[in-house]
Amino acid sequence: MSALLDVENLRVSFPTRSGVVEAVRGVSFTLGRERLGIVGESGSGKSQTGRAILGLTPPHATVTADRLVFDGTDLLAASEKERRTLRGKRIAMVLQDPKFSLNPVMRIGEQIMETLAAHGRGSGAEARRRTLAMLEAVQIRDPERVFNLYPHEVSGGMGQRAMIAMMLVAEPDMLIADEPTSALDVTVQLQVLSILDKLVAERGMGLIFVSHDLRLVSSFCDRVLVMYAGRVVEEIAADRLHQSQHPYTQGLLNCLPKLGQSRHPLPVLDRKPEWAA
Amino acid sequence: MALAGSATAGGRRRARLRSTAMAIARFLVVVALTYLGLLAVTFFIGRVIPVDPVLAIVGDRAPSHVVERVREELGLNLPLYQQFVIYVGKALTGDFGISVLTSNPVMTDIRRVFPATLELATLGTLIGAFLGVPLGVLAAVRRGSFLDQVVRVIGLVGYSVPIFWLGLMALLVFYARLGWVEGPGRIDVVYEYTVTPVTGILLLDTAMQGEWEAFRNVFGHLILPASLLGYFSMAYISRMTRSFMLTELGQEYVVAARAKGLSERTIIWRHALRNALVPLVTVIALSYANLLEGSVLTETVFSWPGLGLYITDSLQNADMNAVLGGTIVVGSVFIGLNLLSDLLYRVLDPRTRAR
């Protein structure tokens, strides 16, 4: 399997008043047309890894890598214009909360059509037809109606499906899903996940699934990267998670609640400085 | 199926129309109540201030029977609530009494002076908004750059330099030294009687009557004070635009728009600015209302026969009818602009539309 994305020694650092903070410190992995999960607690650098691949790191931050190649294109050497052409068309991203990630003053249909227009994939009637088809593909039953709604007029689950439609309508090869279900109700989470799963499988896309929910990631992905303090501490196949070697991964697993078992005292996650070294 | 679809669409449209009609009705009630409150306040002020309107008319040496007669003529011997009812009734028909100073009905005076202020304030606000908004946007986008610093200094000068000083300096440079613009006043005496006042807005009047020479003259008079007022409102508008834009550019939907591959230009002007415009409407409306009050200092420096000068002159001559009439006009302007910005809110932000 040829690699879609090849990341080697990726580093993202932010200058702050108290010195340079390294959010991502030497992350390496490759991704084919598969589903890769990145797990970690808040501030472990998982989101910044995704954003660096898309080129959405804030301008004051520095991104370096030995290799950052997407399908033969060296992302670090590419111009801003080339990277913009890749965004949306070949690599897309689903964000966490549709309440904030959809523009509140634009109709949903308009926002989806905009993705097509940005990449010259038809305008007018053709773009509208494709948008409606995409809304149907994310299992919105009444696409004509939702097309004309504003983001505040739909539920969280519906909003997130619109978000997925907006990001997949230009048929990218790779999708970065940054906590796509964390802001949703538990009952809606599974629905949205199964839609995402189906679309990714049907279209043969590569998926990077960023989440703090280890169990969700292990049931949904083929492979899991566990991140801690900006580093990958363990890479493991999702179905072999219970055989994990690293104490941090074991600690995360141990934190999961178990049915029919009272746990006193609750297990506390170990954070050893040498793991971050 | 298609039939059912169109029927529900029609129903939705009707429902939306009904909700809009309801909102307008609700708003009119609010406006009426606000207006009544405004009249009550001006009425009250007119009764408690230590200026006797009778004395102002007859002078302090008039015999007592004259004073009594004038008091009765003015209706000041009636109980207070009756006076108020009469006052409201007259105010609604635009009758604010006679100005002692000019011996014209106050309304006639206001019709003469308000267009002068309206013309100046409108052009000033247009200049302020059309320069201030783009400058604020660029300052926000290039935060910390040289341009951002320039906008900051412009804002600082606009906040801290007194307008009468800047006005005099501008006159000295552009009128006296360079001769680029016309001097104080609205129009040269030569042209004053070639134009028949229709709207009172001289740019419109001269243009409608094809008096292009007079039009140029009017514009030459107008441009300096309007630029000055425009500069001050630009200072305010650009600062506010910058801060609203910084808020919007930090939102998640901007990240999403970038992830879609939109160009920076589209993201800034179509996505972020469209959201920032919502609070900006209020800022611009308020700064417009501020200028419509009549900027006394500017009108004094430029001998501009506007509302600010009129109210100040009336105040100094204890001409209460004129002062209260002017106050009501200013209050109405505020109510009107509030109405307008509320309506624009509904146009710009779908979340504020009543469901």
pLDDT at B207: 85
Count up the domains in chain B and report the number. 1
Question: Testing the interface with A: which of B13, B260, B264, B352 to mutate, by most A Cβ within 10 A?
Answer: B260
Do B252 and A97 make contact, defined as CB atoms within 8 angstroms?
Answer: yes
Q: Is residue B292 part of a domain?
A: yes
What lies within 8 Å, CB to CB, of A96 at 6+ separation is A178, A179, A180, A182, A183, B252
The A-side interface with B (CB below 8 A) comprises 51, 54, 56, 84-89, 92-93, 95-97, 100-106, 114-115, 118-119, 144, 150, 152-153, 163, 166-167, 170
Do A101 and B262 make contact, defined as CB atoms within 8 angstroms?
Answer: no
B216-234 pLDDT, tens digit each = 888 999 999 999 999 999 9
- Specify the 3-state DSSP secondary structure of B352: helix
pLDDT at A2: 66
Asked whether residue B3 carries a pLDDT value surpassing 50, the answer given is no
Percentage, residues of chain A above pLDDT 70: 98
Residue range A19-41: mean pLDDT, rounded: 90
Where helices occur in chain B by DSSP H, the ranges are 2-48, 53-58, 64-73, 80-92, 106-141, 146-160, 163-170, 189-192, 202-208, 212-249, 252-259, 264-265, 273-292, 296-301, 307-316, 320-348
pLDDT class of B4 with cuts at 50, 70, 90: very low
Domain positions in chain A: 1-90+206-276, 91-171
Write the residue in A84, A105, A152 that is nearest to B275 by C-beta: A105
Comparing alpha-carbon positions, the chain A residue that sits nearest to B265 is: A118
CATH assignment at residue B121? 1.10.3720.10
pLDDT class of B8 with cuts at 50, 70, 90: low
Please check whether residue A230 is in contact with residue A43, taking contact to mean a CB–CB distance below 8 angstroms: no
- For B119, the domain range is 106-352
pLDDT at A135: 93
What is d(CA A54, CA A175) in angstroms, rounded to the nearest whole number?
10
Q: Is residue B127 part of a domain?
A: yes
Determine the distance in angstroms separating the CA of A226 from the nearest CA of chain B, rounded to an integer.
25
Which CA distances in Å does B136 have to A273, B4, B18, B139, B238? 46, 49, 38, 5, 4
pLDDT class of A19 with cuts at 50, 70, 90: confident
Residue B259, Cβ neighbours under 10 Å: how many? 26
Q: Homologous superfamily of A1-90+206-276 in CATH?
A: P-loop containing nucleotide triphosphate hydrolases (3.40.50.300)
Asked whether residue B2 carries a pLDDT value surpassing 50, the answer given is no
Asked whether residue A77 carries a pLDDT value surpassing 80, the answer given is yes
Asked whether residue A80 carries a pLDDT value surpassing 50, the answer given is yes
Question: Testing the interface with B: which of A101, A144, A174, A176 to mutate, by most B Cβ within 10 A?
Answer: A101
Comparing alpha-carbon positions, the chain B residue that sits nearest to A117 is: B262
pLDDT at A154: 92
pLDDT at A7: 93
Write the residue in A101, A119, A150 that is nearest to B256 by C-beta: A101
Comparing alpha-carbon positions, the chain B residue that sits nearest to A102 is: B253
Asked whether residue B5 carries a pLDDT value surpassing 50, the answer given is no
B99-139 pLDDT, tens digit each = 888 888 999 999 989 999 999 999 999 999 999 999 999 99
The B-side interface with A (CB below 8 A) comprises 5, 251-253, 255-263, 266, 271, 274-275, 278, 348-351
Residue range B169-184: mean pLDDT, rounded: 89
Tell me what the pLDDT averaged over chain A comes to. 88
Do A152 and B350 make contact, defined as CB atoms within 8 angstroms?
Answer: yes
Residue reference for tokens 């469901």: B355
Determine the distance in angstroms separating the CA of B247 from the nearest CA of chain A, rounded to an integer.
13
Do B261 and A87 make contact, defined as CB atoms within 8 angstroms?
Answer: yes
Comparing alpha-carbon positions, the chain A residue that sits nearest to B144 is: A60
Lowest mean pLDDT of A133-142, B21-30, B160-169, name the range.
B21-30
Lowest mean pLDDT of A118-122, A145-149, B168-172, name the range.
A118-122
- Specify the 3-state DSSP secondary structure of A20: strand
pLDDT at B9: 63
Determine the distance in angstroms separating the CA of B333 from the nearest CA of chain A, rounded to an integer.
29
Please check whether residue B224 is in contact with residue B174, taking contact to mean a CB–CB distance below 8 angstroms: yes
Lowest mean pLDDT of A1-10, A123-132, B55-64, B119-128, name the range.
B55-64
Comparing alpha-carbon positions, the chain A residue that sits nearest to B266 is: A118
Nearest C-alpha neighbor of B234 from the set B334, B338, B153: B153
pLDDT at B194: 78
pLDDT at A10: 93
Do B261 and A96 make contact, defined as CB atoms within 8 angstroms?
Answer: no
Determine the distance in angstroms separating the CA of A16 from the nearest CA of chain B, rounded to an integer.
15
Do B253 and A92 make contact, defined as CB atoms within 8 angstroms?
Answer: no
Asked whether residue A161 carries a pLDDT value surpassing 50, the answer given is yes
Q: Is residue B55 part of a domain?
A: no
Comparing alpha-carbon positions, the chain B residue that sits nearest to A149 is: B350
What is d(CA B328, CA B313) in angstroms, rounded to the nearest whole number?
16
pLDDT at B270: 93
Partners of A168 on chain B (C-beta within 8 Å) are none
Q: Taking CA B249 as the corner, what is the angle to CA B245 and CA B252, rounded to the nearest 5 degrees?
A: 140
pLDDT at B75: 78
B181 backbone dihedrals φ, ψ, rounded to 5°:
-125, 170
Determine the distance in angstroms separating the CA of A169 from the nearest CA of chain B, rounded to an integer.
10
Determine the distance in angstroms separating the CA of B171 from the nearest CA of chain A, rounded to an integer.
45
- The secondary structure element, H or E, covering residue A112 is helix A108-118
Q: Is residue B128 part of a domain?
A: yes
pLDDT at B27: 80
Q: Is residue B221 part of a domain?
A: yes
- Specify the 3-state DSSP secondary structure of B234: helix
Comparing alpha-carbon positions, the chain B residue that sits nearest to A163 is: B256
Residue range A55-71: mean pLDDT, rounded: 90
pLDDT class of A105 with cuts at 50, 70, 90: very high
Comparing alpha-carbon positions, the chain B residue that sits nearest to A57 is: B255
More confident site: B203 or B269: B269
Partners of B278 on chain A (C-beta within 8 Å) are 105
Please check whether residue A36 is in contact with residue A207, taking contact to mean a CB–CB distance below 8 angstroms: yes
Determine the distance in angstroms separating the CA of A241 from the nearest CA of chain B, rounded to an integer.
32
Buried-state track A43-76, b at ≥16 Cβ within 10 A, e below 16: ebbbbbbbbbbbbbbeeebebebeebbbbeeebe
Residue range B73-78: mean pLDDT, rounded: 79
Asked whether residue B1 carries a pLDDT value surpassing 50, the answer given is no
